């Protein structure tokens, strides 16, 4: 009997703990909020599994992240780097772009560049005031490059891409976007060259790759044509010139039809130097973001540096922005150039989304969407993300070999604006297949939110 009593007592003592254990097990499932998160098929996608994918989807009205996948991992952003450049420019530059500084000293007019890339840029509407000022000023013109404290290329750029138009040299006073244009429509008029005086530098090289037509000796402004160009075949090529200060004065003299000399001095603009302005800043921003113009992006960072210090240096502009404008980002970017040509750049999807959120707070929606490329309408996504007359994607692409990114704004079917960053590195499939898979995801977000 005593033994039986002890057994009953043991069972009674164990029952509360047994009940607690069962109750705990019943509540061990994930909270409802975690159970209902949509992943839009991103983790299970066979296409995305062929590379490394990151994604962030954010609702700015609710200040809430809707979905993340590898959002805290660093990716090579390619031209998504231009989002960093845009944000820095918006926070640094005014509504209009400073074109040059000048100082009149007796019968001399000394002028310095600010980095403004718009002068005689064929992709931009021109402000004739700058051209007329230089052409008709009665003083002798002296160009000074002493305020330029940078290299011609960004850190990590490809050394052998010097004659491709996506890698024009950085300079304090760009002209013709620092690129020579070669056009041949037929054999009657021969090759049309701009600037025209470069036609005298043309020579033929039978070893030049047949797809290139035009090449350039790296540190000289001598251009070579292949035999197809000589035969009269139609082509259009844009080749960066080697933009030394001496050469800039040559181009200016040829364009203005007057003498322009180089002032080889460390002379910086005096305190009373005056500034001429060229065009509205948004025209540069739109060209950079819609057409992914690398040259505009690089020169904008030089402009930001000039605005702050009076000197032109990309690294100074980036350091200032990281310390003062981006110090509270979720993840500090590894940032070395304005355009994204360098593979040294690294940024996370959630940091890009944070920057895009800050950008949209700086301006009304109409202006914002006028700067970014619109899916199915213009820019680098003109052929993708179509939605009839109502584009739902306004974003910036970023593409290097085996890397493709898209970050921007998505307008849902109900009119809600969401912010996203979709990043892919080291993918081995085709670009078209990757884009179709991305579009499937973004379209689902459009339909369901």
HSE-CB of 250 using CA atoms within 13 angstroms: 13
Residue by residue, pLDDT tens for the chain (449 residues) are 444 444 444 444 444 433 433 333 333 334 434 445 789 999 999 999 999 999 999 999 999 999 999 999 999 999 999 999 999 999 999 999 999 999 999 999 999 999 999 999 999 998 899 999 999 999 999 999 999 999 999 999 988 787 788 999 999 999 999 999 988 876 556 788 888 888 888 887 777 666 666 778 888 898 887 766 666 677 788 999 999 999 999 999 999 999 999 999 999 999 999 999 999 999 999 999 999 999 999 999 999 999 999 999 999 999 999 999 999 999 999 999 999 999 999 999 999 999 999 999 999 999 999 999 999 999 999 999 999 889 999 999 999 999 999 999 999 999 999 999 999 999 988 999 999 999 999 999 999 99
pLDDT at position 207 is 72
- E strands within 185-307? 192-194, 203-204, 214-216, 223-225, 235-240, 260-262, 274-280
Contact 59, 356 (CB under 8 A): no
Distance in angstroms (rounded) separating the CA atoms of residues 338 and 126: 23
Pick the CATH number of 39-91+286-448 from 2.40.170.20, 3.40.1370.10, 3.40.630.30, 3.40.710.10: 3.40.710.10
Contact 359, 351 (CB under 8 A): no
Q: How far is CA 362 from CA 7, 240, 279, 282, in A?
A: 75, 35, 20, 13
Contact 242, 218 (CB under 8 A): yes
Start-to-end CA span in the chain (Å)? 70
What 3-state class would DSSP assign to 245? helix
- In the chain, what are the domain boundaries? 39-91+286-448, 175-242
Residue 387: count of CB within 10 angstroms of its CB: 16
């Amino acid at each position: 009997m005593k033994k039986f009593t002890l057994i009953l007592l043991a069972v009674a003592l164990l029952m509360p703990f047994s009940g607690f254990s069962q109750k705990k097990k019943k509540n061990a499932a994930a909270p409802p909020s975690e159970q209902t998160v949509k992943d839009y098929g991103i983790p299970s996608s066979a296409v995305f599994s062929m590379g490394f994918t990151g994604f962030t989807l954010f609702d700015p009205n609710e200040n809430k992240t809707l979905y993340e996948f590898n959002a805290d991992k660093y990716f090579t952003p390619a031209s998504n780097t231009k989002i960093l450049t845009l944000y820095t420019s918006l926070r640094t530059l005014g509504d209009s772009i400073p074109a040059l500084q000048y100082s009149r000293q007796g019968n001399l007019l000394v002028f310095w560049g600010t980095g403004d890339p718009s002068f005689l840029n064929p992709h931009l509407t021109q402000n004739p005031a700058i051209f007329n000022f230089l052409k008709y000023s009665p003083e002798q013109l002296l160009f000074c490059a002493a305020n330029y404290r940078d290299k011609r290329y960004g850190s990590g750029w490809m050394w052998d891409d010097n004659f491709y138009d996506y890698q024009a040299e950085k300079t304090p006073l760009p002209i013709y976007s620092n690129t020579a244009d070669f056009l041949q429509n037929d054999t009657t008029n021969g090759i049309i060259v701009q600037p025209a005086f470069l036609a005298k530098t043309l020579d033929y090289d039978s070893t030049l790759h047949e797809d290139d037509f035009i090449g350039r000796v790296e540190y000289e402004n001598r251009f070579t044509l292949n035999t197809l160009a000589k035969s009269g075949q139609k082509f259009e090529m844009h080749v960066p010139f080697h933009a030394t200060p001496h050469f800039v004065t040559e181009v200016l003299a040829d364009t203005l039809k007057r003498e322009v000399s180089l002032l080889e001095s460390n002379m910086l603009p005096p305190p009373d130097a005056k500034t001429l302005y060229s065009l509205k800043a948004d025209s540069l921003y739109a060209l950079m973001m819609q057409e992914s113009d690398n040259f505009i992006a690089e020169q904008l960072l030089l402009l930001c540096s000039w605005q702050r210090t009076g000197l032109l240096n990309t690294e100074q502009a980036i350091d200032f922005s990281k310390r003062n404008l981006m110090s509270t980002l979720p993840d500090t970017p590894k940032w070395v150039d304005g355009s994204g040509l360098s593979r040294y750049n690294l940024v996370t999807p959630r940091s890009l989304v944070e920057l895009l959120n800050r950008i949209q707070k700086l301006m009304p929606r109409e202006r914002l969407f006028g700067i970014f490329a619109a899916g199915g309408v213009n820019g680098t996504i003109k052929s993708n993300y179509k939605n009839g007359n109502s584009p739902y994607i306004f974003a910036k692409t970023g593409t290097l070999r085996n890397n493709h990114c898209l970050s921007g704004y998505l307008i849902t079917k109900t009119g809600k604006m969401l912010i996203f960053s979709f990043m892919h590195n080291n993918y081995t499939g085709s670009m078209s297949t990757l884009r179709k898979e991305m579009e499937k995801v973004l379209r689902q977000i459009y339909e369901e939110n």
